[in-house]
Structure 1
Amino acid sequence: MTSSSSSQTAAPSGQPRLRIRGLRKSFGDRTILNGIDLDVPAGKSTVIIGGSGNGKSLLLRCILGLIEPDEGTIEIDGENIIGASRSRRGTLLKRIGMLFQNAALFDSMSVMDNVLFGLTAKSHGRRRDRATQEKEALRLLEQVGLGPHVAPLNPAELSGGMQKRVGLARALAGQPDILFFDEPTTGLDPIMSAVIDGLISSCVTQRGATALTITHDMTSVTRIGDHAAMLYGGKIIWQGPANTLMHSGNPIVDQFTHGRLDGPIPTSGMTANPAEKR
């Protein structure tokens, strides 16, 4: 991926790009997030792991403003987005690009129109003619390794890996300095998983973006992560350098990362929870 100019904002020295404290969210009598504390450093790649139903995707949705948390703070460069006005929150959230699980492309739109949608959504009020926008969309597709021949195609005509790359191109529209990736390699073969991981790494190393990724893929963690954290029981139970994850010394983390049946994580605790997908 080639580097490009961006609207990145420098975080104050020593301050995390994202700072989450005491984040809680319940659905009925089921508490999913039970006091999340997490720092995401600027210009680094942070990876969150954890079993299904533990609230990883819900955490991203709370940060994005798609779901309102019950308690807690979510700060971008020290500014609490939960307490911000609607207009200010919208401005802050435009700094975030999101690659949803399964890419979440619009089936009724062509690849070109999907990317153009991302450009329009992150235009910050700027109006550009169609030809200029299409040129920018083709540049974004080129950055993720796709040629202009895919632009008129519909998502259904693409492989899973190509759909992920289109989703990434859309996420990069507007040159966000914060990128979220929700299970970016799920359903992909090992080679395509390595391609997607390489693109994520390039977003951090070449664009200087701050990345937050949710994944079950331990190989991906070692390829893309600078920092890692595990979400279990509604809380972050461990965090540290990604290269120490596989020998963390935490029995819950060790059982999960090595796929052991025996350990403190009960088998029933690994079942999916519909609330996480809300």
Structure 2
Amino acid sequence: MSTSLPKIRIRDLHKSFGTKKVLDGVNLDVAQGTSFVIIGGSGSGKSVLLRCILGLIIPDSGSIEIDGENILTATDKRREALRGEIGMLFQNAALFDSLPVWENVTFGLLARKRLKRPQAREHAGSILAQVGLDPSVGDLYPSELSGGMQKRVGLARAIAATPNILFFDEPTTGLDPIMGAVIDGLIVDCVKKLGSTAIAITHDMASAQRIGDEAAMLYKGQLIWQGPASSLMHSGNAMVDQFTHGRREGPITMELRK
């Protein structure tokens, strides 16, 4: 095994919104080339953690390192360069309705002027083919696509710039079980082909086991368990066991608003 630095290293990360603690001392290492899945209930801090790594939210304290470099103390220019190495598949694809599919796929490349429009159109066709869509889909608009096709386009956009890091925010939400499995298969294939490091957040236990090498559970802003994704359904942790099996009875209780 390599002894090199983890691709992503997070230490003692804290974030509060008013009096509500969302991240409460998160520590996490994600090795290069690993597909890491984070599970947890709504409000557990999963999305906030991803947004902190992306730089969309500034944590209150702690460190986030990519290849040993603390992105929280980097210059704005350096942070922007690091963000350019990250591809993101958003929960609802988050496509731009006013742009054709090919411009959605190559949006980041065009915005950073890494490709001219004729090259971008051709590049989009090849990327769409990688996610199982005919290049002619590039001329359609998002409103003309099914939910599964929109997810594929979102995945194509995420991998268009051959990123070193990929984030997946609830990649199977809104999809039927078969299409969910198809999207998961495409995610696994794309991550392996690129050799990228991936972090996915999900409530879907079948998806978590299909796409994850390692997994962890966030509860009340803390990582309470970490291990192989294949162990999610038999972790030996009472909270993880209750969550993954969807049991009403257990140590996790629903908090009611007063």
Q: Give the TM-score category using the shorter length.
A: over 0.9
Q: Which has the higher mean CA deviation after the structures are superposed, 90-99 or 175-184?
A: 90-99
| 8 Å contact from structure 1 (residues 119, 170) kept in 2 | no
Structure 1 residues 190-269: aligned runs within 5 Å: 190-268=177-255
How far the C-alpha of 1:90 sits from its partner, in A, is: 1.1
The residue type paired with residue 56 of structure 1 is: K
Quote the Cα distance in structure 2 between the aligned partners of 1:206 and 1:114: 22
Identity across matched positions, percent: 64
* Matched residue, 1:56: 46
| 8 Å contact from structure 1 (residues 106, 155) kept in 2 | yes
Stretches of structure 1 that go unaligned for 5 or more consecutive residues are: 1-11, 272-278
Of 80, 87, 101, 2:77 maps to: 87
Q: Cα deviation per residue 1:237-265 (whole Å; 9 max; x = unaligned)?
A: 10011111111111100000011100010
**Equivalent pairs, count:** 256
Stretches of structure 2 that go unaligned for 5 or more consecutive residues are: none
SS in 1 for 2:174: coil
Quote the Cα distance in structure 2 between the aligned partners of 1:15 and 1:158: 41
Quote the Cα distance in structure 2 between the aligned partners of 1:15 and 1:161: 37
Quote the Cα distance in structure 1 between the aligned partners of 2:160 and 2:191: 15
SS in 2 for 1:151: helix
* Matched residue, 1:9: none
2:10 paired with 1:23: no
How far the C-alpha of 1:163 sits from its partner, in A, is: 0.5
2:130 paired with 1:130: no
How far the C-alpha of 1:110 sits from its partner, in A, is: 1.1
* Matched residue, 2:58: 68
The higher relative CO (CA closer than 8 Å, separation ≥ 6) is in 1
* Matched residue, 1:148: 135
2:19 paired with 1:32: no
Could you state the TM-score of these two structures normalised by the residue count of structure 1?
A: 0.89
* Matched residue, 2:169: 182
Quote the Cα distance in structure 2 between the aligned partners of 1:85 and 1:60: 20
Quote the Cα distance in structure 1 between the aligned partners of 2:88 and 2:154: 8
Quote the Cα distance in structure 2 between the aligned partners of 1:203 and 1:92: 20
Runs of 4+ with deviation above 6 angstroms = none
